[in-house]
Amino acid sequence: MPATVTGSSGTGKVTRIGDRRALVVPDGLDGLRLDAVIARMFGLSRTAAAQLVDAGHASVDGTVRGRSDRVSGGVWLDVELPPPPNPVRVEADPVPGLQVIHDDDDIVVVSKPVGVAAHPAPGFTGPTVIGGLAAAGYRVATSGAAERQGVVHRLDVGTTGIMVVAKSEHAYTVLKRAFRDREVEKIYRALVQGHPDPSSGTVDAPIDRHPRKSGLFAVVADGKPSITHYDTEEAFRAASLLSVRLETGRTHQIRVHMSALRHPCVGDLAYGADPVLAGRLGLTRQWLHAAQLSFAHPGDGRWVTFTSPDPPDLAEAVAVLRRQS
């Protein structure tokens, strides 16, 4: 029979859902929100951690608390974790528009089209880069989770451009380390609303999951360090075309930082873009393209650079702006 608990988040029924854990909160997490502490201690997403708290599956020193309550180091955290999700399989399905621009014994470099994920994930049923490569006969490294084998970095489903996938185990190890240590140069092109001031600059603002909107991210005080450099290449009446270099690689980083500057990527309705402007330019997704990727080749150490031109929908949007300027 479900247990009844009381605390700062009220009274409600709690159904046992999985594995119960009780741990002392380390001093290094002192002062963080409860959902952030749970996410970091148990390897959950911020959204999943918040859902556990809201459902009454977490307590601090025996008391149920709210997701935004601050937690002190040294207290006992009792959490009932959900069962692990069913494994996601890689389906070898052809991906129209997926272009292989380089292939050797260690790596395969592709230009990813819009609507394609890097790898399978729960809840996503669309095409993937890994599935497309498998359908084309490419064998990638077996390191990593089964659904992410060979994947050393990712692009959003709605973002196009350059991705590198490891084919050898050595390449996987070397490239994962290079991305972790910020030894990879990642340059994007972004069309943003308005005119950033200054026209060139750096955004240094921490990012984590949005505290209220599932699936989105935001600048938050206790987020992960995130640094974005940008330069204006061309200015139009209603928008600016930027060259953006990522120093870090957080999920949605450019989209979040540009939105925080009140210059969201054109077409990025999830982060506050104007739907009227997007419609006028014929955009159904954010104007964001991974244009260039440079790194030390894992085979021989030479510095290599791969580029991808703007896809037709993004190029046409810029052409419309030029005609109207």
Active site residues: 156
Angle at 231 between CA 228 and CA 236, to 5 degrees: 125
Residue from 263, 305, 323 nearest 287 by CA: 263
Burial 286-304 (b: 16+ CB within 10 A, else e): bbbbbbbbebebbeeeeeb
How far is the C-alpha of 270 from the C-alpha of 199, rounded, in Å?
Answer: 24
Backbone conformation region of residue 317, classed left if phi is above 0, alpha if psi is from -120 to 50, else beta: alpha
Rg of the chain over Cα atoms, rounded to whole angstroms, equals 22
How far is the C-alpha of 152 from the C-alpha of 93, rounded, in Å?
Answer: 21
How far is the C-alpha of 159 from the C-alpha of 145, rounded, in Å?
Answer: 23
C-alpha 109, offset from chain centre: 20
Beta-carbon contacts of 120 under 8 Å, excluding residues fewer than 6 positions away, are 88, 89, 90, 91, 128, 130, 131, 147
Phi/psi of residue 30, each to 5°? -55, 130
